Amino acid sequence: MDAYPSIEAQMRDTEHRSRRRPARLSASLVVVLAVVLAGLLPLSGHAAGATTYARNLFVSKGFVYQDPYYTACTAAAVMHMLNTIAYRKTGGYGFRWTPYTVKKSSNPDQLRDMTSILAFERRYDTLRSTSAGSDAHGWRNALNYYGWGSSAMKNASIRPYEDRAYSTYRSAMKAAVRAIARLGMPVGVLAWAGGHAQVITGYVVTGENPRTSSDFTIQWLYLSDPLRSDAIVNRKTSYAAMKDGALKWRFQWYRETDSPYDDPYTSGWIRSSVSSAVGPSEWFHKWVLLLPVRRGLPPPEPSPTPPPASPTPTPTATSTPTPSPSATASPTPESAPQQERVSESPSPAASSSPSPSTTVVPSAAPTATAEATSAADPASPPPASPTPVASASPAASASTSPVVSP
């Protein structure tokens, strides 16, 4: 046997070891990959556990374009929102609107068409008279009046819709999603920095359920615009695009300064929207929404039930004792004293003529002094407009840009 392996044996050994080396490298690579994957598993598991919640209220037959009435974006939004609520049956107690899409009716008594709604908004908004369109207060008042009646417009404690101003885009969008999730009613958006009306009907979020929590992240919003040229109808728009995207669907803070009057149907006194140089106001430099805050009016309290009548007691008959004949001795004629019979003369008879009857004269019926409210029928003419009174001290807003679509 040779002291050293032959050349052939060395070559075979080298070949054998070279064949084994890739196997060792593959095993090492598997170990490394396993460690990396182990570190990534918690992240992957967290992403898989995120829950997506989506809802969209949009009903195509309820949508209305404002064209050719280019200052009627808020009135078109009113019709779109109320139609959606009617089709979805989410208006709650007292909701009275039925779907309607006529823009200008030939019937002068028909007050539910778009042009009539715009005229109503102008009587009840806080916009300067020289401006076109309407503002958030006119929009809110028309939603509540046509949807639920006069008391829903004037009484802040029962209003289904409110105009709300938020200091950040994020807080406004979260409020919009939560309102849609909890109440099933659309949200109005003061778009174009307050110059135009748009409507949000739905959302896609991840995280917690927006019906019960604010711990969610907004991914998408469903946006509609009544201006036909914008071509935004039930558009799935990203959260980022509504914040920083194209101007036609970007939601910016309010810049309009031609609503110098106070809202008479809300407690306190503050101008609706003027520049900061004039003074504080409700909407200026804030993100403004038309937000549903309750589903319908509170139902009337039930009438109290009277207690059951007490049963009439049945009288118990009382027996009269009969005296025994033996107990009373009959006097004999001799012993009984003779009683003198005195006949009493009757008194003169009372006059039989009846006394004269008393005639009761009813007083005049009281005249009602309370002003009758315009009630439940939107077809009836709306009540007269309160004339807003401008503050005497500060000057009116310098800006005259309209609050509606151009």
Domain ranges of the chain: 53-292
Distance CA 392, CA 215 (A): 46
The set of residues, in sequence order, having a beta carbon less than 8 Å from that of 265 and lying 6+ positions away, is 141, 153, 154, 155, 156
| Predicted pLDDT of residue 289 | 98
Helices (H), 50-148: 73-88, 114-123, 136-148
- Fold for the domain defined by 53-292: Cathepsin B; Chain A (3.90.70)
The parts of the chain modelled with pLDDT lower than 50 are 1-32, 35-48, 319, 323-406
- Pairing assessment for the beta strands 235-238 and 216-224 based on DSSP bridges: antiparallel
Find the farthest-apart pair of alpha carbons in the chain and give their distance in angstroms, rounded. 186
Distance CA 348, CA 329 (A): 41
Distance CA 112, CA 302 (A): 32
Distance CA 404, CA 406 (A): 6
Give me the helix-helix angle, 73-88 and 114-123, nearest 10°.
Answer: 110
SS3 86: helix
| Predicted pLDDT of residue 4 | 35
Distance CA 272, CA 258 (A): 9
Tell me if 177 sits within 8 A of 185, measured CB to CB. no
List the helix and strand counts (H, then E) for the chain: 7, 9
Distance CA 95, CA 376 (A): 9
Helices (H), 112-197: 114-123, 136-148, 150-154, 169-183
Token output for 270: 């503050």
The set of residues, in sequence order, having a beta carbon less than 8 Å from that of 124 and lying 6+ positions away, is 137, 138, 141, 142, 145, 153, 385, 386
Q: Which 8-state DSSP code applies to residue 122?
A: H
Task: Single out the residue of 367, 371, 382, 152 nearest to residue 265, CA to CA.
Answer: 152
| Predicted pLDDT of residue 402 | 39
Task: Single out the residue of 196, 122, 390, 195 nearest to residue 278, CA to CA.
Answer: 390
Q: Give this prediction's pTM.
A: 0.67
Tell me if 258 sits within 8 A of 400, measured CB to CB. yes
* Total number of residues shown for the chain: 406
The set of residues, in sequence order, having a beta carbon less than 8 Å from that of 351 and lying 6+ positions away, is none
